[in-house]
Amino acid sequence: MINAGELRAGTTVERNGQLWEVLSFEHIKLGRGTAVVRTRLRNLDTGSVTEETFRPEERFPRARIEKVDVQYLYRDGEQYVVMESQTFDQFPLDPGQFGDAARYVRESDHLFVLRHEGRVLGVELPIAVELEVVETEPGFRGDTATGASKPATLSTGLVVDAPLFVEVGDTLKVDTRSGKYLERVQ
């Protein structure tokens, strides 16, 4: 069990038979009253987001989320086929379960599948991935003083704003949380 006062972003709890992920939390001490915890929660079944306020002593069962290392193999129609790294079992994931990962992963890349009691909740990507630039406009010398950027299309179809010196064939490191360019890989 976990107290509402111990909730943190990323924590998953069970409430009313459903799984909820804490997106943000704030401890608030009211003038003469007691403290409260204001949270934003996302329902892992429906994806809906709600804001709720709890007393710090309220208790919830903590959900045990299993993290399984998998390798993305290929796309089969609408399904994304992955293989567990330990058992070599292959299984498909729906687009809803795979989420934004399709923008960042290539065949044979590793990621984590999140499961609760055998049911797949979604996938977790590494913080940054390296992708090759397949299309971008040529940059001009002397334009770098302004810190200008240009769109660059990467091997997965993701378009990021990259500095003017980036060319086709370069490998870029991209943040999977924000989708932004981090650096050019040498």
Percent of the chain exceeding pLDDT 70 equals: 95
Question: Residue 36 and residue 49: Cα distance in Å, rounded?
Answer: 19
Distance of CA 112 to the CA centre of its chain: 10
Q: How far is the first Cα of the chain from the last one, in angstroms, to the nearest whole number?
A: 48
> Can you name the residues that pair with 131 across neighbouring β-strands?
172
Domains, the chain, with CATH or none? 2-60 (2.30.30.30), 66-124 (2.40.50.140), 128-185 (2.40.50.140)
| 103 three-class SS | helix
pLDDT in tens, 142-183: 555 567 788 999 999 999 999 888 889 999 999 988 889 999
Question: Residue 76 and residue 107: Cα distance in Å, rounded?
Answer: 12
Torsion of CA 46, 52, 57, 61, to 10 degrees: 0
Q: Pick the closest to residue 100 from 178, 23, 186, 2 (CA basis).
A: 178
β-pairing, 66-76 vs 79-84, is antiparallel
| pLDDT above 60: residue 115 | yes
Three-class secondary structure assignment of 7-33: CCCCCEEEECCEEEEEEEEEEEECCCC
| pLDDT above 70: residue 98 | yes
Chain mean pLDDT for the chain: 87
| pLDDT above 90: residue 70 | yes
